[in-house]
Amino acid sequence: MNRTFSPFAIAFTERLCYYINKYYRTEFARVRPEQEGERIEHCIFVYYLSILMPSHKDFFMKRLIDKLAATQTLEKEELLYLLLNYDDNGSEYLFARARDVAKQHFGDQIYLRGLIELSNYCKCDCLYCGIRRSNKNAERYRLTPEEVLDCCEIGHKLGFRTFVLQGGEDRHFSDDIIVSMVESIKSAYPDSAITLSLGEKSKDSYQRYFNAGADRYLLRHETADPIHYARLHPKSQTLQNRMKCLYDLKSIGYQVGTGFMVGSPYQTLENLVSDLLFIREFQPHMVGVGPFLPHHDTPFGHHAKGSMELTLLMIAILRLMIPNLLIPSTTALGTIHCTGREQGILAGANVIMPNLSPTTVRKKYLLYDNKISTGQEAAEGVIDLRNRMQTLGYRIPVSRGDYRPVHQHGNTRHLSPSLYPPIERSTSHVQSSI
């Protein structure tokens, strides 16, 4: 919609919406006190603009996106409005802004990371994950330190300068083994960064890996809502401990990555808003977001997969929230759609993580059904990947691709006033339409 509005019309409408919202909140609190904090309140809040002026939805979407780009934040209800009302027009505008911001910070560069999947033994039992302890059908493997070094050698020749060692929580890999693996990779390839993604450990262990030379650590929080977390994990695994690990990692000095799945079972749009707000508060250096994809041998095997569009939306919002964030266009995105990885880049992602694991084990690290591991996904496909990035206007440098702080983006939270007055109480849970 190309219509323009006078500042007076905008101010008037926003004021009007404010009073309507206030009126309805009072009304509902009085007439139906049992509904407090329930669906009604936020439905009124997030729908009122579109109900009032459905034809002007594009205009309000654009204003919210501009506000997000200018201030790096939005109110909870504003984020919910975005997630409830996005359509092709809104997404295109958001992606274009996110791409611009990525270009400002990273130019035309897309960073590469070589993913080495160490082991699919896991003591955890995450209900969504194909390598969970209870999956008796998983064919287990673990790489030897020599095999890991071989992967690094191949990767280094191909131009990789970051090696990501990811794996299940395998008791076999004691701290001593991990420390010695990190040390030998560092001494063989001192120009390369090491990222670990080995799950929850004690602060002491994290410190030892860091002292040995590990630079970064990836640990997705999976969902920032403790109730939702409890539906995705067994009782022994808690969001509280996950968060403790994340804060420990940050305090040690790692570049820290977190993230979440989009469309995981029982997830609501409000959960996604909580994920975004947690990330805004935690200020990680990297965030991985991918759609949930079912694995047939897990309790969630029959659940629907997540939405690619919503995943792309999350990437773009994150890019505007934290402009210098390292955001991978994930394997799960590449799995859900053959051009998913490219679309991730076009939504503002700036990292790609091809698989460097030995081809013999790739099919065994099956987190979800149909996980891709050949073609562009594989390290052997790096030339193809470079070409495909080039056709999109990007190039892949031979570089560690470290996080770089940006000072002027400090606390800009209060640069501009909220578009809408804040709501004090929490809004209701909305079942997502994913």
**Can you read off the two tokens belonging to residue 141?**
């493997």
- We find the least distance from the C-beta atom of residue 417 to ligand SAH, in angstroms, to be 36
Report which of 69, 170, 165, 157 is spatially closest to residue 122, judged by C-alpha positions.
170
Q: Which is nearer to ligand SAH, 73 or 166 (CB)?
A: 166
Looking at 134-142, 273-281, 291-299, 352-360, which segment touches ligand SAH (CB under 6 A)?
Answer: 291-299
Looking at 27-35, 164-172, 379-387, 419-427, which segment touches ligand SAH (CB under 6 A)?
Answer: 164-172
Which one of 90, 114, 155, 168 is in contact with ligand SAH (CB under 6 A)? 168
Question: Binding of ligand SAH at residue 120 (CB under 6 A)?
Answer: no
Residues 323-362 that bind ligand SAH (CB under 6 A): 332
Q: Hunting for tokens 């060692």 — which residue is that?
A: 165
Question: Binding of ligand SAH at residue 166 (CB under 6 A)?
Answer: yes
Question: Binding of ligand SAH at residue 284 (CB under 6 A)?
Answer: no
Question: Binding of ligand SAH at residue 129 (CB under 6 A)?
Answer: yes
Question: Binding of ligand SAH at residue 286 (CB under 6 A)?
Answer: no
Q: Mask: binding to ligand SAH, 190-229, rule CB under 6 A, as x and -?
A: -------x-x-------------------xx-x-------
Q: Hunting for tokens 């970051």 — which residue is that?
A: 162
Looking at 24-32, 101-109, 146-154, 287-295, which segment touches ligand SAH (CB under 6 A)?
Answer: 287-295
Q: Which is nearer to ligand SAH, 109 or 237 (CB)?
A: 237
Q: Phi/psi at 194 (nearest 5 deg)? A: -115, 125
141 burial via Cβ count (<10 Å: 0-12, 13-18, 19+): middle
Which one of 229, 368, 394, 420 is in contact with ligand SAH (CB under 6 A)? 368
- We find the least distance from the C-beta atom of residue 165 to ligand SAH, in angstroms, to be 10
Looking at 81-89, 99-107, 290-298, 411-419, which segment touches ligand SAH (CB under 6 A)?
Answer: 290-298
- Calpha distance 305→335 (Å, rounded): 11
Q: Phi/psi at 329 (nearest 5 deg)? A: -90, 105
Give the footprint of ligand SAH on this chain (CB under 6 A).
128-129, 166, 168-169, 197, 199, 219-220, 222, 261, 290, 292-293, 295, 332, 367-368
